Amino acid sequence: MKAAVLDRYDKNGTTLVVKDVPTPEPGPHEVLVRIHTAAVNPLDNMIVRGEVRLIVPYRTPLVMGNEFSGTVVRAGADAGRFKPGDRVYGRMPLAKIGAFAEYAAVDESALAHVPGYLSMEEAACVPLTALTALQAIDLMEAQPGQTLFISGGTGSLGAMAIPIAARMGLIVATNGSARNEERVRGLGASTFIDYKTQLYVDELHDVDCVLDTLGERELPDEFAVLKPGGHLVSLRGTPNGRFAKREGFPLFKRALFGLAGRKLDRMAARKQQTYDFIFVHEDGAQLEHIAELFPAERPLAVSIDGTYALDQVNDALERVRTGHSQGKTLLRIEQA
């Protein structure tokens, strides 16, 4: 089969090579999926540059790709949830990525059925960002009626996190680029702050929870708008000891992350707030929850920035790298 392969890490970025590799054989708990569409994320560029090796130490050569939609071809001996022909989608298991390929063998616990109203292209936009939003909201223990500030919510993460949070009954504020204000308000944001002309520290206070997509530089201001005892979850800040413990990392890594995240833990402790970093993991059951939150009568809307062929994978990665996207960047893999 054809797959996009990373031959070596390069901190300056490098090109993937599309080549023939053996089609994977599904293990007992796995399902062989014919990939229809894969989505490209900032995470893929981070993996290429070796920036997440401490969290996920993948060996090269590595078939790249973290999320996809596809069709079940066959199931392993002990995998019983899906049958051939089922439309499925998911975030590839952290331990074994590989969605930029014609086929992937995926643990069935990472998969969910695609809601009937989503096309396969639309479905590929959902898993990674939807799971990130659900896992962040879960960790915050956010309750309906509480306020949530999503920083940088005009990007692809916000496109999923805003409607999910709003559908779960949270009151959402976000900031980002002005040209996207109308769109994110339509997704469910009650408050919008243009980051080029307004400071959110002047506009927001005593927010119950913050979901940070911007990282280190913004964290002091994000803690400032958070209420005493509030919860901040970052997608881009420094991982801390709590993260390492949740992930079940060995002791030396816990100590390492504990040290790295100490400054942010202290920042949080000043007002009895909590600081957490998350690295989104696969979870088919959580994805099934999306279909319950967004039934056909009140569907989930997705936006697509552009679609590339597998051979154009490096152009797609470049598109994501340059930012300012209007939705997801997709790789259409199944040509038939």
Instruction: State the burial class of residue 116 (Cβ atoms within 10 Å of its Cβ: 0-12, 13-18, 19+).
Output: exposed
Binding status of residue 177 toward ligand NAP by CB under 6 A: yes
Looking at residues 46 to 105 of the shown chain, list those that interact with ligand NAP (rule: CB under 6 A). none
- Do the bridges between strand 17-20 and strand 2-6 make them parallel or antiparallel, or are there none, so unpaired? antiparallel
Query: Of 69-77, 163-171, 173-181, 257-265, which part binds ligand NAP (CB under 6 A)?
Result: 173-181
User: What span, in angstroms and rounded, lies between the C-alpha atoms of 205 and 216?
Assistant: 20
Q: Name the residue among 135, 182, 199, 142 with its Cα closest to residue 166.
A: 142
Q: Which is nearer to ligand NAP, 200 or 294 (CB)?
A: 200
* CB of residue 320 to ligand NAP, shortest distance in Å: 7
User: What span, in angstroms and rounded, lies between the C-alpha atoms of 254 and 214?
Assistant: 24
Q: Which is nearer to ligand NAP, 22 or 323 (CB)?
A: 323
Looking at residues 100 to 159 of the shown chain, list those that interact with ligand NAP (rule: CB under 6 A). 129, 132, 151-152, 154-158
The 3-class secondary structure across 55-96, one letter per residue, is CCCCCCCEECCCEEEEEEEEECCCCCCCCCCCEEEEECCCCC
Dihedral, 115, 47, 140, 107 alpha carbons, nearest 10: 50
Contact criterion met (CB below 8 Å) for 39 and 118: no
Site string for ligand NAP, 211-240 (x = CB under 6 A): --xx--------------------xx----
Site string for ligand NAP, 275-314 (x = CB under 6 A): ---xxx----------------------------------
| Helix H or strand E segment including 44 | helix 42-48
User: What span, in angstroms and rounded, lies between the C-alpha atoms of 318 and 316?
Assistant: 5
Instruction: State the burial class of residue 290 (Cβ atoms within 10 Å of its Cβ: 0-12, 13-18, 19+).
Output: buried
Q: Which is nearer to ligand NAP, 268 or 280 (CB)?
A: 280
Q: Which is nearer to ligand NAP, 113 or 281 (CB)?
A: 281
Please count the residues of this chain forming the interface with ligand NAP, following the rule CB under 6 A: 25
Member of 37, 69, 175, 286 binding ligand NAP (CB under 6 A): 175
Cα distance from N-terminal residue to C-terminal residue, the chain: 15
Query: Of 84-92, 115-123, 248-256, 274-282, which part binds ligand NAP (CB under 6 A)?
Result: 274-282
Q: Which is nearer to ligand NAP, 40 or 75 (CB)?
A: 40
Member of 4, 6, 40, 42 binding ligand NAP (CB under 6 A): 42
Q: Which is nearer to ligand NAP, 18 or 47 (CB)?
A: 47
CB-closest chain residue to ligand NAP: 155
CA distances from 49 to 58, 81, 96, 215 (A): 12, 36, 18, 18
* CB of residue 209 to ligand NAP, shortest distance in Å: 16
Contact criterion met (CB below 8 Å) for 109 and 291: no
Site residues (CB under 6 A) for ligand NAP? 42-43, 129, 132, 151-152, 154-158, 175-177, 195, 213-214, 235-236, 278-280, 323-325
